[in-house]
A = this chain, B = another copy of it.
Amino acid sequence: MACAFCEIVAGRKKQHIVAEDAHTLAILDHMPLVPGHTLVIPKKHYASIMEMPKEELCSLILHVAKMEKAVLKATGAGGADIRQHYRPFLAESELKVNHVHFHVIPRNLDDEMYKNLLNEIPMRKMPSEAEFGAVAKKIKAALGK
């Protein structure tokens, strides 16, 4: 199976892209844990940060910090979780992609993730295109400021 993220980088698979630079892409998670849940990925395929060249990993984390700031501004969240999971023991699927990605998840004390501690991954609802579009617009605007 082709890597879903490589397909997005190549423009063959559609996803809401909120930011882009030479080495990295920031996209909305297609099944957000909370609104504004963003992924920052290297354009080049790596299975783990351990195999990334230093310059590319630096570039990636700087983009993560930049997106964290934009996501906080766009959503008005009080905080954010950054997560990068390397779990090669999980089968690759639409949800578990074997391509390095940093989650940027806006957090609030009363958010759904706290309410739903029953699951590490809470029940996720696929947002509508309009909902995705509205969040993407806010994040892009926050980046511009």
Contact A57-B65, Cβ < 8 Å, known A78-B87, A81-B83: yes
In the complex, the answer to whether A82 meets B79 with C-beta atoms within 8 Å is no
Chain B residues with CB under 8 Å of A64's CB are 49
For the complex, is A62 an interface residue (Cβ under 8 Å from B)?
A: yes
For the complex, is A6 an interface residue (Cβ under 8 Å from B)?
A: no
In the complex, the answer to whether B84 meets A79 with C-beta atoms within 8 Å is no
For the complex, is A93 an interface residue (Cβ under 8 Å from B)?
A: no
Q: Give this chain's copy count.
A: 2
Contact A50-B78, Cβ < 8 Å, known A57-B61, A58-B61, A108-B89: no
For the complex, is A16 an interface residue (Cβ under 8 Å from B)?
A: no
Q: How far is the CB of A102 from chain B (nearest CB, A)?
A: 8
Interface residues of A in 88-136 (CB under 8 A from B): 88-90, 107-109, 113-114, 117-120
For the complex, is A85 an interface residue (Cβ under 8 Å from B)?
A: yes
In the complex, the answer to whether B89 meets A78 with C-beta atoms within 8 Å is yes
Interface residues of A in 11-69 (CB under 8 A from B): 48-50, 52, 54, 57-58, 60-62, 64-65, 68-69
What residues of chain A have their CB less than 8 Å away from a CB belonging to chain B? 48-50, 52, 54, 57-58, 60-62, 64-65, 68-69, 78-90, 107-109, 113-114, 117-120
Q: A57-B65, A81-B85 are in contact. List 7 more A-B contacts (CB 8 A).
A: A58-B58, A79-B85, A80-B85, A81-B84, A81-B86, A87-B107, A89-B108
